[in-house]
Amino acid sequence: MKVVELSGGVGGGRMARGLQAVPSIDLTVVVNVGDDEDIHGLHVSTDLDTVTYTLAGVEGPDGWGRVGDTFVFNDELTRFGVDNRFRLGDLDLALNLFRTQALAAGKSLSAVTAEIVNSFDIRANVVPATDDSLRTEVKVERDGWIRFQEYFVMRANQDEVEELRYTGSETAHPAPGVLDAIATADVIVIAPSNPPLSIWPILAIDEIRHAIRSHQRVVAISPLFGGKAMKGPAHRVMASLGLPAGNAGVMEAYTGVIDTLVVDNQDADDARRLDGVDVMVTDTRIRETARARELAEEILAR
Amino acid sequence: MKVVELSGGVGGGRMARGLQAVPSIDLTVVVNVGDDEDIHGLHVSTDLDTVTYTLAGVEGPDGWGRVGDTFVFNDELTRFGVDNRFRLGDLDLALNLFRTQALAAGKSLSAVTAEIVNSFDIRANVVPATDDSLRTEVKVERDGWIRFQEYFVMRANQDEVEELRYTGSETAHPAPGVLDAIATADVIVIAPSNPPLSIWPILAIDEIRHAIRSHQRVVAISPLFGGKAMKGPAHRVMASLGLPAGNAGVMEAYTGVIDTLVVDNQDADDARRLDGVDVMVTDTRIRETARARELAEEILAR
């Protein structure tokens, strides 16, 4: 069975780990690159790395970075007055420097991602949505348009988001293999990621959006628990962009895209009011691989 | 009293620390940049950093790098198949990345060096010989011309050196302040560094060589102990370049440049045979700052 997952970072990585644990599945994870950022001259791809580390079982305790990482390098930057609020661990730095060097040598992001994934014990394919530059930018009241990581990390996602744009999406093409994987997939799974911040940047690429829209089976997992994201600003961002509260907002975020919406048991009441999509209510807490795998099997069996 | 030291790495850093410990001295250390290398896309300046770390008292146990540094980053590069024989510690990496970023932003090497030195507790001025590109290259039997760090670190300086060249030296200009410091110095001290590998690249810059040659008081400290370098390949390199053995070779390496040669007690016999320069025989083991300071005072009192 062939599965394509569209993924942001932490939630996407956990769902990918569950899907990867189902033996019969040929999994391709198509990952958001709108969060990619230049940090100290390094090409940092937060969502790609979170997915990779999570699939390898070496993710950090909060979902991002490497478990057991140290911050000797990052802390020392303070001496030189370098802004080090975007914390890069020493292990994580090795990956980021390897990627930066490979890109500088002319390799594509998808090619270097494949090399990185191969260096870990990972069965799934991990592919950036695009090898082209695509950057999520956030319009906030105080300063206008700012880059995603400035909003998310440096300002701890406290600003109200007035508008989003995905700079470069008009000219970006899907990375090699993405359209083939979608066309031949039995099911497309949209991860329980932040719809506007993590999934829309993938769907902002015309060819991917058309391929997903014309696919016969697209299942999204809601990132909400009791109407709120477990972590991160999904519900706040959706509200400020004018989407309805709760899973009605998730459904609207994916209008014309999904057939099935999976919502958590806590939102069973909310789910009863949804019209126009198949709604599946189950336990969507997937930090543990065992539960993530069960959820994957429930989705695929439906 | 104004002193200029011409310096390579470990021995130069230790001599600089001794000079810095003499309260009345205004010290400028002019440092070799022929060993500078691009490592993983970073601008690594081994001699500048060894001098800086030694002046700050935070140098590693073998003279290079930072004391107490960790190698989490460097070891992790193995996963990605990156050549990591040039070992960059995690603390050291912060400095190297800061410098690389500053250079990429258009700062000069001397300007960023001043910032780095200011971030530590250092009283001396530390200046690269030049802000221009100047790279020591080594001709070895097996492969012809190779870069200095390839010879020194990757091949553990085991090749016989057939020839040296300082690529870029013809067009390199002294960094700001170097010629002024030399012109106003009461004495020039040439550190107990490797003459062909550490000092000649500085003297290969025409304006510096002329300024040093026309200075009235230039004292070199021999790097030899019992005819051999305490560490490193100085005596082997000098022999393969056709220089006489022992301190006669050091004297010849500095023909027309120095007035005084300081040799170690172990080489008193050797020293007796030297003609044409003032020879001073004393204890030149300067790992300890106290002895380095005494040596500095002996030199300045002569």
Using an 8 Å CB-CB cutoff, list chain A residues near B104.
Answer: 41
**pLDDT in the model for residue A16:** 98
**pLDDT in the model for residue A297:** 97
Using an 8 Å CB-CB cutoff, list chain B residues near A82.
Answer: 94, 98, 101
The CA-CA-CA angle for residues B3, B6, B7, to 5°, reads 125
The CA-CA-CA angle for residues B43, B47, B51, to 5°, reads 120
**Helix, strand and coil percent figures for chain A, each rounded to 5:** 40, 20, 40
**pLDDT in the model for residue A4:** 98
**pLDDT in the model for residue A302:** 86
What is residue B214's DSSP assignment? T
| B12/B7 Cα distance (integer angstroms) | 5
Of B41, B76, B101, the CB nearest to A94: B76
Amino acid at the residue B147: R
- Here the ipTM equals 0.93
For A90, the enclosing helix (H) or strand (E) is helix A90-104
Averages of pLDDT over each 10 residues, chain B, 302 residues: 97 98 96 96 97 98 95 98 96 98 98 98 97 97 92 91 96 98 98 97 98 98 94 90 95 96 96 92 96 97 90
- B87-144 per-position pLDDT tens digit: 999 999 999 999 999 999 999 999 999 999 999 999 999 999 999 999 999 999 889 9
Cβ distance of B90 and A79 shorter than 8 Å: no
Cβ distance of A91 and B73 shorter than 8 Å: yes
Using an 8 Å CB-CB cutoff, list chain A residues near B38.
Answer: none
**pLDDT in the model for residue A230:** 86
Residue A302 and residue A277 in contact, taking contact as beta carbons nearer than 8 Å: no
Cβ distance of B70 and A69 shorter than 8 Å: no
Of B74, B77, B91, the CB nearest to A98: B77
Q: What is the 3-state secondary structure (H, E, C) of A20-44?
A: HCCCCCEEEEEECCCCCEEECCEEE
The residue segments making up the domain with residue B133 are 2-301
Of A79, A90, A101, the CB nearest to B41: A101
Which residues in chain A land under pLDDT 50?
Answer: none
User: Residue B63 burial (CB < 10 Å; 0-12/13-18/19+)?
Assistant: middle
- Total tally of structural domains belonging to chain B: 1
Alpha helices in chain B (DSSP H): 10-20, 46-56, 72-76, 90-104, 109-118, 148-149, 178-184, 200-203, 206-213, 234-240, 246-253, 268-272, 289-301
- In whole angstroms, how far apart are CA A198 and each of A173, A191, B14, B125? 17, 9, 54, 50
Mutate to test the interface with A, among B90, B118, B122 (most CBs of A within 10 A): B90
CATH number at residue B100: 3.40.50.10680
Using an 8 Å CB-CB cutoff, list chain B residues near A81.
Answer: 119
- Overall pTM > 0.90: yes
